[in-house]
Amino acid sequence: MKKTMKVLSFALALIMILGLAACKGGTSPGTSPATSPETSAAKSPAANASLKVGISMPTKSLQRWNQDGANLQQAFQAAGYTVDLEYAGDNDVPTQVSQIENMISSGYNVLIIAAIDGSALTEALAPCKAQGITVIAYDRLIMNSDAVSYYATFDNTLVGKLQAQSLVDKLDIANKPGPFNFELFTGSPDDNNIHFFFNGAMSVLQPFIDSGKIVVKSGQTQESQVTTKDWSSANAQSRMENLISQYSYGPKGTKLDAVMSNNDSIAQGVAVALQNAGYTADNFPLICGQDCDKASVINMRNGFQYSSVFKDTRTLADAVKTMVGQIAAGQTVQVNDTSTYNNGVAVIPSYLCQPVAYTIADIGKLVDSGYYTWADIGGDKGTLPLDGQIK
Ligand code: BGC
């Protein structure tokens, strides 16, 4: 039995090495398959069973990673792959490292990893290349590692741009004299994504800051000044509370027009601080976010968050499933970005899915596409204060 497994995993490693060799140089979307039709990705589930796919997710405490994990597991199981899905406690780096090490020593052929700390996996992944294990960085880039073959994510710069643009458009900053008071929040400093989210947002906001139309009273406009460890709502709430007391923001105090928040868990913490400061739905500062978390969609229906960037995790799971199918079949892996994501060792061929900005008007789309039921997001349409604006 052990011997058969060894032969099998060797054969698979070989298939994958051939697959990876086939992708070198030909990574643009739509490039034709590098192999013959017999090695087509549309293998039967039974044929796929010998491919072992390890999925490593950062935490169960944030809705999106539960969805991502479930979508990936379901997609790979449906295709017949052997799947191991692990969550690293609540963003616990040593747990993630040891789960990945176990997958490697248990003969997993493909690892799909959403890193907690993008720079903490170099050692754990060191054996992958020699063992023919394909590593796909999922959503967050894994830094300083030669083991990373592909990166599947959303267009993260566009996420930041959409967030900031939603605030600028709603306040009509281009046409109104202002000044508009903003505060800025980005995510965890160990997540490589924040550079893209924050820079994307600042590419929209900076010209208005430079012209004086947007004022950040705290003066905290550098990424390193506005991070939120672990993307935690509690950390965001406490920083917002400090800003409120230092600059007297409040419905009767200093006007606060908007908070640029790079995701929903931060937006939710900021919203609590603003509610505690006396803001209500009719005077609430605009807050943007990302993920269309259930709690944030409910906040949008209640008037406590203005927008959220929707990243359909089903699309990302499908993109990764396609990648793995192409790898297993020795086909060219389709990517659509070969220049943006340098992990310190190489530019990683990436597949970027498209994000889209949602406001209250768009919430019905989440239900129509089957992403949520009305019950998931606060009950039937028509029950919450801003529901009249849902199209
Ligand atoms: C993801 C976001 C998520 C955040 C917190 C980021 O890397 O791209 O979708 O909100 O992590 O988990």
Is a pLDDT exceeding 80 seen at residue 374? Answer: yes
Give residue 156 CA to ligand 1 midpoint distance, Å.
Answer: 10
Is a pLDDT exceeding 90 seen at residue 31? Answer: no
Give residue 87's pLDDT. Answer: 98
Residue bearing the CA closest to ligand 1, atom 8: 139
Single pTM value for the model: 0.89
Q: Which residue do the tokens 């017949």 mark?
A: 80
Give residue 39 CA to ligand 1 midpoint distance, Å.
Answer: 36
Is a pLDDT exceeding 80 seen at residue 7? Answer: no
Least Cα distance to 358 among 371, 345, 340 occurs for: 371
Give residue 34's pLDDT. Answer: 28
Give residue 332 CA to ligand 1 midpoint distance, Å.
Answer: 29
Average pLDDT over residues 235-261: 98
21-30, 120-129, 169-178, 237-246 — which is least confidently predicted? 21-30
Average pLDDT over residues 57-76: 94
C-beta of residue 181 within 8 angstroms of C-beta of residue 217: yes
In the chain, how long is the greatest CA-to-CA distance? 75
Q: Which amino acid is at 263?
A: N
CA distances from 207 to 69, 167, 200, 201, 210 (A): 39, 14, 13, 11, 5
Residue bearing the CA closest to ligand 1, atom 5: 231
Q: With a 6 A CB cut-off, is 263 part of the ligand 1 pocket?
A: yes
Q: With a 6 A CB cut-off, is 140 part of the ligand 1 pocket?
A: yes
> Residues near 91 by Cβ (< 8 Å), separated by ≥ 6?
58, 59, 61, 116, 230
Residue 179: cis peptide before it, omega within 30 degrees of 0: yes
More confident residue, 28 or 179: 179
DSSP character for 309? E
Q: With a 6 A CB cut-off, is 62 part of the ligand 1 pocket?
A: yes
Q: How confident is the model at residue 43 (pLDDT cuts 50, 70, 90)?
A: low
Cα 202–207–210 angle (5° rounding)?
110
Least Cα distance to 214 among 160, 274, 273, 255 occurs for: 255
Average pLDDT over residues 231-235: 97
Average pLDDT over residues 168-180: 97
Is a pLDDT exceeding 50 seen at residue 4? Answer: no
What residues pair up with 181 in beta bridges, in sequence order?
A: 215
Give residue 300 CA to ligand 1 midpoint distance, Å.
Answer: 19
Ligand 1 atom closest to Cα of residue 62: 12
Residue 120, Cβ density class (10 Å: 0-12 exposed, 13-18 middle, ≥19 buried): middle
Is a pLDDT exceeding 50 seen at residue 18? Answer: no
d(CA 28, CA 179): 45
d(CA 124, CA 122): 6
Percent of the chain with pLDDT over 90: 86
Average pLDDT over residues 215-219: 98
Give residue 48's pLDDT. Answer: 75
Q: How confident is the model at residue 46 (pLDDT cuts 50, 70, 90)?
A: low
Give residue 64 CA to ligand 1 midpoint distance, Å.
Answer: 8
Give residue 47's pLDDT. Answer: 65
Give residue 44's pLDDT. Answer: 65
d(CA 271, CA 309): 17
Is a pLDDT exceeding 90 seen at residue 32? Answer: no
Give residue 49's pLDDT. Answer: 72
7-11, 175-179, 269-273, 360-364 — which is least confidently predicted? 7-11
Give residue 263 CA to ligand 1 midpoint distance, Å.
Answer: 7
Give residue 251 CA to ligand 1 midpoint distance, Å.
Answer: 31
d(CA 309, CA 328): 33
Is a pLDDT exceeding 70 seen at residue 27? Answer: no
Ligand 1 atom closest to Cα of residue 197: 8
Ligand 1 pocket test, candidate residues 291, 313, 354, most atoms within 8 A of CB: 291
- H-state helical runs in 212-333: 233-247, 264-276, 294-302, 313-328
Give residue 288's pLDDT. Answer: 98
Q: With a 6 A CB cut-off, is 290 part of the ligand 1 pocket?
A: yes
Least Cα distance to 256 among 243, 265, 266, 269 occurs for: 243
d(CA 205, CA 235): 24
d(CA 29, CA 153): 15
Residue bearing the CA closest to ligand 1, atom 6: 193
Give residue 45's pLDDT. Answer: 64
C-beta of residue 244 within 8 angstroms of C-beta of residue 277: yes
Average pLDDT over residues 48-74: 93
Is a pLDDT exceeding 60 seen at residue 1? Answer: no
Average pLDDT over residues 344-369: 98
Give residue 7 CA to ligand 1 midpoint distance, Å.
Answer: 39
